[in-house]
Amino acid sequence: MIRFALVCDRGHDFEAWFSSGSAYEKQEAARSISCPACGGTDVRKAPMAPAILRGKSLRGKPKQSERLATQERKKTYAFLKGLRDQLTANADNVGPAFPEEARKMHYGETEARNIYGEASVDEAKALSDEGIPALPLPPLPEDHN
């Protein structure tokens, strides 16, 4: 057993026992360690000399990672939106008729073109079983700005 001094993102320090250093790493990565004071799971090893390192530099870190998370979300949103805009600009919206239209094109009943629309998971799977490439369009998350 190893005892580690830990600190949550709100600056509460506490100690916890782990069977090994790698067991700690695993639990930290899975966010299964929670702060006994606030229940937060953004927990990491406390610096060896917390009394010295506590203060602005330590408290500044969570803000930085929050900013990064926001940037990451915005990037993902922009990517999804761009993908969707590109798809919808170059394809016909056939709505719920998508599986039917996709089949017609695949079997040469209508001229091949880019289409997009709605298909249930089952329908999309059926299409792919028939060898018809149908890509799911990811739902666009709400724009948080």
Member of 16, 40, 84, 94 binding Zn ion (CB under 5 A): 40
Distance, first Cα to last Cα, the chain: 46
User: How many whole angstroms separate alpha carbon 26 and alpha carbon 32?
Assistant: 9
R_g of the chain computed on alpha carbons: 25
Member of 5, 37, 69, 140 binding Zn ion (CB under 5 A): 37
Between 24 and 98, whose beta carbon lies closer to Zn ion?
24
Residue 73 touching Zn ion (CB under 5 A): no
Member of 33, 35, 46, 115 binding Zn ion (CB under 5 A): 35
Between 35 and 115, whose beta carbon lies closer to Zn ion?
35
Contacts with 68 (C-beta within 8 Å, 6 or more apart), sequence order: none
Shortest distance in whole angstroms from residue 94 CB to Zn ion = 52
Q: Between helices 121-129 and 98-106, what is the axis angle to 10°? A: 10
Residue 12 touching Zn ion (CB under 5 A): yes
User: How many whole angstroms separate alpha carbon 29 and alpha carbon 44?
Assistant: 10
Between 47 and 77, whose beta carbon lies closer to Zn ion?
47
Member of 2, 5, 10, 32 binding Zn ion (CB under 5 A): 10
The greatest distance separating any two alpha carbons of the chain, rounded to the nearest whole angstrom, comes to 75
Between 78 and 97, how does the x/- string for binding to Zn ion read (CB under 5 A)? --------------------
Shortest distance in whole angstroms from residue 121 CB to Zn ion = 40
User: How many whole angstroms separate alpha carbon 88 and alpha carbon 143?
Assistant: 18
Residue 38 touching Zn ion (CB under 5 A): yes
Q: Which helix (H) or strand (E) holds 140?
A: none
Contact positions vs Zn ion (CB under 5 A)? 8, 10, 12, 35, 37-38, 40
